[in-house]
């Protein structure tokens, strides 16, 4: 199971997390977020995929930030249409190249879940995005600190791998292990964590993340 740590903000904290080697490190380029990133990403391990998180952003700005930060993944956390995703993927292929990675830049589309979810909503995105991400529905996109009912994913109809997000912390480790052993986790590719490991918005508790990474991978 891969690990993504999202909402990184501070240079020293980013460098410290790099030593922990998460598979993905997320940077939020949404100015209404308390974790908004508006600096220069420091050098991190080449094995970590730098992920830009966007909410209903203009395509040109997404492309510019991919180039500026050499992003290896793009996470769309708004109401972006399948058509937008398709055009963005084409634009990425035409305009973006990172020396850090020979593979294509990954595209992740987020869907928020409360108690129920109509999986017909993901159908138009099939074959366009590389991954889905399922998060808890809240007032603002991401980092709300609450989990949704993971049993909803028993009805997941797709073979597209997905990220599981929303209120995941050390206290949910046992619940997460149960999920990993359930049919609902068949296409779960990665766990995405954020607010439950924070000292303050954007500042992560590295020791707790180290324990969590060990627990979910053993």
CA distances (Å), origin 25, targets 6, 7, 74, 155? 6, 8, 11, 29
Token pair 């972006």: residue: 80
What number of CA atoms fall less than 13 Å from residue 109's CA on the CB side?
21
> Which domain, by its residues, includes 124?
2-216
pLDDT of residue 116: 87
Exposed/middle/buried for residue 72 (C-beta within 10 Å: 0-12, 13-18, 19+): buried
Instruction: Report how far residue 21's alpha carbon sits from residue 174's, in angstroms, rounded to the nearest whole number.
Output: 23
Domains identified in the chain, total number: 1
> Could you tell me the CATH number of the domain that includes residue 31?
3.20.20.70
Answer for the pair 159, 132: CB distance below 8 angstroms, yes or no: no
DSSP 151: G
Tokens standing for residue 87: 């055009």
Token pair 């052993």: residue: 181
Other C-beta atoms closer than 10 Å to the C-beta of 99 total: 7
Kind of pairing between the strands at 203-204 and 24-28: unpaired
Angle, helices 206-216 vs 11-20, to 10°: value is 30
pLDDT by residue for the chain (218 residues), tens only, comes to 899 999 999 999 999 999 999 999 999 999 999 999 999 999 999 899 999 999 999 999 999 999 999 999 999 999 999 999 999 999 998 888 655 544 589 999 999 998 789 999 999 999 999 999 999 876 555 555 678 999 999 999 999 999 999 999 999 999 999 999 999 999 999 999 999 999 999 999 999 999 999 998 87
Answer for the pair 186, 211: CB distance below 8 angstroms, yes or no: no
């Amino acid at each position: 199971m891969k690990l993504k740590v999202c909402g990184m903000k501070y240079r020293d904290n980013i460098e410290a997390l790099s030593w922990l080697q998460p598979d993905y490190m997320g940077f939020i380029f949404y100015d209404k977020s308390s974790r908004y990133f508006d600096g220069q990403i420091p050098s991190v391990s080449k094995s970590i995929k730098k992920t830009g998180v966007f909410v209903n952003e203009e395509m040109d700005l997404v492309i510019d930030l991919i180039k500026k930060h050499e992003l290896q993944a793009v996470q769309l956390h708004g109401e972006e249409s399948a058509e937008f995703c398709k055009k963005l993927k084409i634009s990425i292929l035409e305009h973006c190249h990172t020396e850090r990675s020979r593979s294509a830049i990954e595209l992740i589309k987020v869907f928020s879940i409360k108690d129920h979810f109509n999986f017909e909503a993901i159908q138009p995105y099939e074959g366009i995005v590389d991954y889905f991400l399922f998060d808890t529905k809240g007032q603002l996109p991401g980092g709300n600190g609450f989990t949704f009912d993971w049993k909803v994913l028993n009805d997941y109809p797709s073979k597209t791998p997905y990220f599981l997000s929303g209120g995941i912390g050390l206290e949910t480790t046992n619940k997460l292990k149960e999920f990993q052993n359930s049919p609902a986790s068949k296409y779960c590719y990665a766990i995405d964590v954020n607010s439950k490991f924070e000292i303050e918005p954007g500042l992560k508790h590295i020791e707790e993340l180290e324990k969590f990474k060990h627990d979910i991978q053993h």
